[in-house]
């Protein structure tokens, strides 16, 4: 019975990945981003998931792609779409060591 439940959840996970194939998830566990760098196409989104035990405040001041998610409690996620091509430095305003680069392509 347990095996069947596991099998079913794998299928459901596969379906949801298929439905949102364009959105990559950036985790924030242990006060680090799960990727140091990511590449998206202009207009595409990344999902910033706070699966840590503390709040994070993800933001960017890079020209054309400025955003500030404010305080993001553990267990929540927010999609950010990138509007301009170029390199975007994404940081956490609370934890200065949390940094990643997003390359936005045309
Ligand atoms: Cu943080």
Residue-range domain boundaries for the chain: 22-105
CA of 15 to the centre of ligand 1 (A): 31
CA of 11 to the centre of ligand 1 (A): 33
- Would you state the CATH architecture of domain 22-105? Sandwich (2.60)
Q: pLDDT tens-digit profile of 27-86?
A: 999 999 999 999 999 999 999 999 999 999 999 999 999 999 999 999 999 999 999 999
Look at residue 49 in the predicted model and tell me its pLDDT.
Answer: 98
Q: Supply the Cα-derived Rg of the chain in whole angstroms.
A: 15
How many Cβ atoms from other residues are within 10 Å of residue 82's Cβ? 25
Using CA atoms, how far apart are residues 71 and 67, in angstroms rounded to an integer? 13
Whether 96 shows a pLDDT value over 50: the answer reads yes
Record the tokens describing residue 51, joined without a space.
């699966």
Look at residue 81 in the predicted model and tell me its pLDDT.
Answer: 97
CA of 52 to the centre of ligand 1 (A): 9
Phi, psi of 79 (to 5 degrees): -90, 135
Record the tokens describing residue 3, joined without a space.
């095996």
Contact between 74 and 55 (Cβ < 8 Å): yes
């Amino acid at each position: 019975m347990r095996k069947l439940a596991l099998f079913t959840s794998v299928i459901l996970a596969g379906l949801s990945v298929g439905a949102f194939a364009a959105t990559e998830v950036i985790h924030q566990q242990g006060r680090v981003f799960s990727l140091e760098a990511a590449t998206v196409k202009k207009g595409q989104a990344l999902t910033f998931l706070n699966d840590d035990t503390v709040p994070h405040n993800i933001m960017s001041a890079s020209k054309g792609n400025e955003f500030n998610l404010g305080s993001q409690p553990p267990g929540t996620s927010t999609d950010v779409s990138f509007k301009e091509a170029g390199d975007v430095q994404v940081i956490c305003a609370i934890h200065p060591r949390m940094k990643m680069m997003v390359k936005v392509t045309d």
